[in-house]
Amino acid sequence: MKRKLLKNCSWVVTLDEKSAIHRNTDILIEDNKIKEIGKEIQCDADEFDCSGKLAMPGMVNTHHHLYQTLTRCIPRVQDAELFEWLTNLYEIWRELTPEAVYWSTLLGLGELALTGCTTSTDMFYVFPHQTSGELIDEQFKASKALGMRFVPCRGSMSCGRSDGGLPPDDVVQDADTIHADCERLIKKYHDKDPFAMTRVALGPCSPFSVTPSLMKETAQLARKYGVKLHTHLAETKDEEKYCAEKFNMRPFELMESIDWVGEDVWFAHSIYVNDREIRRMGETKTGVAHCPVSNLRLGSGIAPVPEMLEAGVPVSFAVDGSASNDSSDMLGEVRTGLLAHRFRSGTTSMTAETALRIACQGGTQVLGFDTIGTLKPGMAADIVLINMNQMPYAGALHDPMAAVVFAGATHIVDATIINGEVVVWQGKLTRVDEAEIICNANHIAAEMVERAKRRTGIDFLSKPLLIAQ
Ligand SMILES: [Zn+2]
């Protein structure tokens, strides 16, 4: 049995039902669980001095496209809206290789761990025909190397350009190939244990890249195996128009018509949902991955999160893909989310504690874990330590929990403990080499852009944008 004692944490923000914050308190970890939270715990354990630090539950990221870490800040699409942005980037994403998937996953999950996230999903859906197709296996390899709790969605696209979809034909797959790989991944990686480090969800990309019949069949498959369902929904006005023209329905109505609502379903974005749809999402406990930075970055809008919370919708925070966020900064996402809602609906629309609860417990609810999101005995030892003894927090210790959201500069936490293992210590990843990740990611990113340029003749590194050609 392995024991770790987090000695004398200056603040322990439990996010429990009483919103308890303990001062000068120890946390005892036994293997992968929290054993005890109390003063001056005496026992035989590896001790970590936590004075000056704030302990809080690890945050949960419920939407990402980790491969996009390799296409951040591409000049050609920096100022584009979603559909134009996608059409251009697909040309670079066609160049993805297993190696690119591995290093981009390590990079994105590494950034998340450094900024206080302990559990993440991903939605990977670009399967270039020249690769083996076993690309999510590369992601699991990376999450294991890093030590992140990981619940990727087996994404899918079945509607290429020749069928009226957005993606090029050579990155989409037929329904049989998609279903076979979904089933293979569930059998290989989906662990039903309450403290699982790996699970699988199924995630057809969006209503404009798969057929309704594929969505229906995916839901049947997910329910057969008891795994979660995830897709993009109601992100932009364009999507609303597309669904009206193609299906004569609003995006959420389309989902209702194919049995894609319920507590096993969560949608990314959900900006353009009306009052009836919010009410239905609350009644059915259909979850939302709220991605404020990506939504602001692409000018998509601000999701009606206070209204969703009022209606009982499970809402979580997510950084979204790095080509629409340029960052996998989990704590930064929480801060921006709070500011976005205050801009949209006034200062009382979201408190710092609500924002942290969305990040921790909202994510837990959406991904279906009841062992994470709160610091108390018996819960998973997924704990973040933030060093409050830094310039950006000085003068803000009247309310350290609020300081974590409102103040801070780099958002790099002092330590991240996942499943009882120290994954970040003194602001550095402990189990993988950060310099190697940076070097490989930069090299692979440059090569993908160069290959895409040679194939298409498009200079992705130049502005201004000439999308209308
Ligand atoms: Zn997305």
Average pLDDT score over residue span 161-171: 88
Cα(164) to ligand 1 centroid in Å equals 20
Cα(289) to ligand 1 centroid in Å equals 9
Spatial distance between the Cα atoms of 103 and 113, rounded to a whole number of angstroms = 15
What's the predicted TM-score (pTM) here?
A: 0.96
Cα(66) to ligand 1 centroid in Å equals 10
Spatial distance between the Cα atoms of 332 and 229, rounded to a whole number of angstroms = 26
Cα(52) to ligand 1 centroid in Å equals 37
Cβ neighbours of residue 456 closer than 8 Å, sequence gap 6 or more:
91
Cα(64) to ligand 1 centroid in Å equals 6
Under a CB-based contact definition with an 8 Å cutoff, are residues 270 and 238 in contact?
A: no
Q: What is the pLDDT of residue 79?
A: 85
Burial class of residue 288, CB neighbours in 10 A (0-12, 13-18, 19+): buried
221 or 322, greater pLDDT: 221
Average pLDDT score over residue span 228-234: 96
Whether pLDDT at 132 is above 90 = no
Whether pLDDT at 138 is above 70 = yes
Tell me the pLDDT tens digit for each residue of 235-278: 988 888 988 998 999 999 999 999 999 999 999 999 999 999 99
Spatial distance between the Cα atoms of 412 and 410, rounded to a whole number of angstroms = 5
User: Which tokens is 188 given?
Assistant: 């290989």
Under a CB-based contact definition with an 8 Å cutoff, are residues 452 and 88 in contact?
A: no
Cα(321) to ligand 1 centroid in Å equals 6
Whether pLDDT at 466 is above 60 = no
For residue 334, the surrounding DSSP H or E stretch is helix 330-345
Protein residues near ligand 1, an ion, with CB under 5 A: 320
Q: What is the set of domains in the chain, with CATH numbers?
A: 3-57+379-429 (2.30.40.10), 59-367 (3.20.20.140)
Cα(202) to ligand 1 centroid in Å equals 14
Q: What is the mean pLDDT of the chain?
A: 95
Cα(154) to ligand 1 centroid in Å equals 13
Whether pLDDT at 324 is above 80 = no
Under a CB-based contact definition with an 8 Å cutoff, are residues 35 and 377 in contact?
A: yes
Cα(327) to ligand 1 centroid in Å equals 13
Average pLDDT score over residue span 144-159: 96
Spatial distance between the Cα atoms of 3 and 299, rounded to a whole number of angstroms = 48
Whether pLDDT at 469 is above 50 = no
Cα(398) to ligand 1 centroid in Å equals 37
Q: Is the peptide bond before 212 cis (omega within 30 degrees of 0)?
A: no
Cα(27) to ligand 1 centroid in Å equals 36
Cα(238) to ligand 1 centroid in Å equals 15
Whether pLDDT at 424 is above 50 = yes
Q: What is the pLDDT of residue 78?
A: 87
Whether pLDDT at 468 is above 50 = no
Cα(231) to ligand 1 centroid in Å equals 8
- The secondary structure of 309-321 as a DSSP string is HHTT--EEE----
Cα(390) to ligand 1 centroid in Å equals 34
**CB crowding 189-218: b at 16 or more within 10 Å, else e:** bbeeeebbbbbbbbbbbbbbbbebebbebb
Cα(320) to ligand 1 centroid in Å equals 5
Burial class of residue 351, CB neighbours in 10 A (0-12, 13-18, 19+): middle
Cα(331) to ligand 1 centroid in Å equals 18
The proportion of the chain whose per-residue pLDDT surpasses 90, expressed as a percent, equals: 86
Cα(233) to ligand 1 centroid in Å equals 9
Across 89-103, 208-222, 377-391, 436-450, least confident range: 208-222
Cα(385) to ligand 1 centroid in Å equals 29
Cα(4) to ligand 1 centroid in Å equals 37
Cα(291) to ligand 1 centroid in Å equals 9
Q: What is the pLDDT of residue 81?
A: 77
Q: Quick one: pLDDT band at residue 206, thresholds 50, 70, 90? A: confident
Cα(123) to ligand 1 centroid in Å equals 7
Cα(324) to ligand 1 centroid in Å equals 8
Burial class of residue 299, CB neighbours in 10 A (0-12, 13-18, 19+): exposed
Tell me the pLDDT tens digit for each residue of 51-102: 999 999 999 999 999 999 999 999 998 888 777 888 899 999 999 999 999 9
Whether pLDDT at 142 is above 60 = yes
Cα(295) to ligand 1 centroid in Å equals 10
Q: What is the pLDDT of residue 464?
A: 55
344 or 327, greater pLDDT: 344
Q: What is residue 380's DSSP assignment?
A: B
Cα(50) to ligand 1 centroid in Å equals 36
Whether pLDDT at 460 is above 60 = yes
Cβ neighbours of residue 331 closer than 8 Å, sequence gap 6 or more:
59, 115, 116, 404, 405, 408, 411, 413
